[in-house]
Amino acid sequence: MINGERTIQRPMRWGMVGGGRTGQVGYKHRTGALRDGTYQLVAGAFDLDAERGRDFGTNLGVAEDRCYATYQDLIAGEKDREDGVDVVSVATPNFTHFEITKALLEAGIHVICEKPLFFTVEECEVVAKLAAEKNLIVGVTYGFTGHPLVHQMAAMVAKGMLGDIRIVDMQYTHGFNAGDDTDAGEAVKWRTNPATAGNTFVLGDIGTHLYYLSEVVLPHLKVEKLLCDRTAFIPSRAPLEDHATVLMHYDNGARGRLWVSSVDAGNMGSQKYRFVGSKASVTWSDSRPDQLIYQVQGEPEQIMHHGMPYLEDESLAADRMGALHTEGLGDSWSNIYLWIAQAIDAKMRGDEEFLKTHHYPGIEAGTEGVRWLENCVRSADAGAAWIDFE
Ligand code: NAI
């Protein structure tokens, strides 16, 4: 169980690029990072509007001279300070991730970057190489995968409780973009423009969460083939999609089905996962994160609750509240931040043994998300054709 006691040698001196007052995701980073004392927010280039960013940063308690106008200023100001940042989170629109991450790594600073990590697998490989050369960690904030019951599903699959995996069924849909973009805010504008979003909209924006979570639960399965059918119901968003269906064939013969949409009118953004094996299945949704439905063929359905002693150790190790007290997304994010901090801490101590078995979403997970997107686009562009997963 996680109870706030320190598990690393000292708190990370932490900075942020983006995630300013008007940003959607910034507060999730701060709730995740600041909760256990594993990170201390000491610097930032929080906003494209430098003045607003400075005002915001000082309101968060960051010293005025460490609220920078740009990420380049942040790097220049922090690089040679004795108490300079150890790690910086990048919570800016997609098109800036690669350039900012690269610059931070070159300056010797660990990075925690938003998803989708970069535009291409090639960029991911450049950064992976750079991080390895510099001996630095890159973490990726797939923030939903800290939920304890996600790790319960993974442990149950690993123990063979479901049997051989046959069916993977996933959905992440909402209706917030069901109307057109006439009065769209900044966050929708950059998400629907290929120059700022990359080669996908909802696949990258929400589909990568589904894909990474399935990798956590089913680490032994690899996608061999996929078929992606995508469309823009609001024509101004083309060539990017606001709705997509992806079928996948896994290397053990399992079949996957996934749909993502931001035009699912009336849906409030739920994620649903169902993993079906030859003996039993598990179903979990982020809208009921405390409950896992376990169905064994021929037996009454069971509902498992987080924090209960009958759960697997991997799930209990990620639990914060204990049974009876609800878990939430903040808890999941806190776990992601904690696991990345432990990776950085191990890097700093030169503890490569620890890193061999320590699990956190890192450069490989970010790369796999981008690889999956590239394959989806290739399939969709070929007329929703089956393609070999590359
Ligand atoms: P947003 O448009 O709401 O906010 C972006 C923020 O970054 C703003 O504060 C803006 O002023 C600032 N900014 C932009 N360019 C900058 C630069 N060059 N230097 C410094 N600050 C800069 O965007 P949102 O929705 O917060 O998304 C940001 C990233 O987070 C995206 O990559 C998105 O995919 C990801 N995201 C991830 C979520 C998750 O669950 N992991 C949830 C929501 C977004």
CATH number at residue 372: 3.30.360.10
Q: Indicate whether 221 and 289 sit together in one domain.
A: yes
- Is the CB of 111 within 6 Å of ligand 1? no
Confirm whether 326 is domain-assigned.
no
CATH number at residue 78: 3.40.50.720
Per-residue pLDDT of the chain (390 residues; tens, 9 = 90+): 989 898 999 999 999 999 999 999 999 999 999 999 999 999 999 999 999 999 999 999 999 999 999 999 999 999 999 999 999 999 999 999 999 999 999 999 999 999 999 999 999 999 999 999 999 999 999 999 999 999 999 999 999 999 999 999 999 999 999 999 999 999 999 999 999 999 999 999 999 999 999 999 999 999 999 999 999 999 999 999 999 999 999 999 999 999 999 999 999 988 999 999 999 999 999 999 999 999 999 999 999 999 999 999 999 999 998 998 887 888 899 999 999 999 999 999 999 999 999 999 999 999 999 999 999 999 999 999 999 999
Asked if the structure places residue 238 within a domain, the reply is yes
182, 311: one domain: yes
Q: pLDDT at position 147, please?
A: 96
Any ligand 1 atom below 6 A from CB of 137: no
- Pocket perturbation via mutation, ligand 1, pick of 27, 29, 48 by most ligand atoms within 8 A of CB: 48
Q: Look at residue 323 in the predicted model and tell me its pLDDT.
A: 92
Q: How far is CA 201 from CA 98, 177, 208, in A?
A: 17, 11, 11
Query: Is the C-beta atom of 207 inside 6 A of ligand 1?
Result: no
243 CB under 6 A from ligand 1? Answer: no
Q: How many domains does the chain have?
A: 2
Handedness of CA 269, 25, 327, 142 (dihedral sign): positive
Phi and psi angles of residue 254, each rounded to the nearest 5 degrees, phi first: -65, 155
93: CA distance to ligand 1 center in Å?
Answer: 5
Give the mutation target among 16, 22, 25 for probing the ligand 1 site: most ligand atoms within 8 A of CB.
25
Q: Do 120 and 179 belong to one domain? A: no
Closest CA to ligand 1's atom 3: 23
Helix (H, G, I), strand (E, B) or coil at 383: coil
- 6 lies in a domain? no
pLDDT at 29: 97
Give the distance (Å) from ligand 1 centre to CA of residue 21: 11
Q: Tell me how far apart the alpha carbons of residues 83 and 184 are, in angstroms, rounded to a whole number.
A: 41
Question: 186 C-alpha vs ligand 1 centroid, how far in Å?
Answer: 10
CA of 23 to the centre of ligand 1 (A): 6
pLDDT of the residue at 328: 83
Ligand 1 geometric centre to CA of 364 (Å): 22
Q: Are residues 161 and 208 both part of a single domain?
A: yes
The span from the CA of 140 to the CA of 109, in Å, is: 15
CB 29 within 8 A of CB 16: yes
Ligand 1 pocket check for 24: Cβ under 6 Å: yes
Find out whether the beta carbon of 188 lies less than 6 Å from any atom of ligand 1: no
- Quick one: 235 and 274 in the same domain? yes
- Which residue pairs from 234-238 have beta carbons closer than 8 angstroms and sit at least 24 positions apart in sequence? 234/177, 234/179, 234/180, 234/181, 234/263, 236/180, 236/181, 236/192, 237/177, 237/181, 237/192, 237/201
Question: What distance in Å separates the CA atoms of residue 314 and residue 149, rounded to the nearest whole number?
Answer: 9
Distance from residue 112's CA to the centre of ligand 1 (Å): 13
Residue 247 maps to a domain: yes
Are residues 226 and 288 both part of a single domain? yes
pLDDT for residue 251: 98
Residue 271 near ligand 1, beta carbon < 6 Å? no
| 169 within a domain of the structure (yes/no) | yes
Q: What pLDDT does 331 receive?
A: 86
Domain assignment present for residue 267? The answer is: yes
Q: What is the 3-state secondary structure (H, E, C) of 213-249?
A: HHHHHCCCCCEEEEEEEEECCCHHHCCCCCEEEEEEE
What is the value of ipTM here, to two decimals?
0.99
- What contacts 91, CB < 8 A, 6 or more positions away? 16, 17, 18, 19, 23, 25, 26, 29, 114
Pair (382, 236) in one structural domain: yes
Is position 27 within any domain? yes
Question: Does a structural domain hold residue 328?
Answer: no
Q: Is 336 in the pocket of ligand 1 (CB under 6 A)?
A: no
Quote the tokens at residue 27.
Answer: 């507060």
Instruction: Please tell me the chain's helix, strand, coil percentages from 3-state DSSP, rounded to the nearest 5.
Output: 40, 25, 40
Confidence at residue 300, expressed as pLDDT on a 0 to 100 scale: 98
Find out whether the beta carbon of 333 lies less than 6 Å from any atom of ligand 1: no
Same domain, 172 and 138: no
Query: Which structural domain range is residue 342 located in?
Result: 12-144+337-360
The response to whether residue 184 sits with its C-beta less than 6 Å from ligand 1 reads no
Q: Radius of gyration of the chain from Cα atoms?
A: 21
The answer to whether residues 155 and 279 belong to one domain is yes
Query: Which ligand 1 atom lies nearest to the CA of residue 144?
Result: 40
**Domain match, 129 and 17 both:** yes
> From ligand 1's centre to the CA of 132, what distance in Å?
26
152 and 253 share one domain: yes
CA of 362 to the centre of ligand 1 (A): 19
Distance from the alpha carbon of residue 19 to the mean position of ligand 1, in angstroms: 6
Both 104 and 174 in one domain: the answer is: no
Pairwise CA distance, residues 284 & 170, whole Å: 10
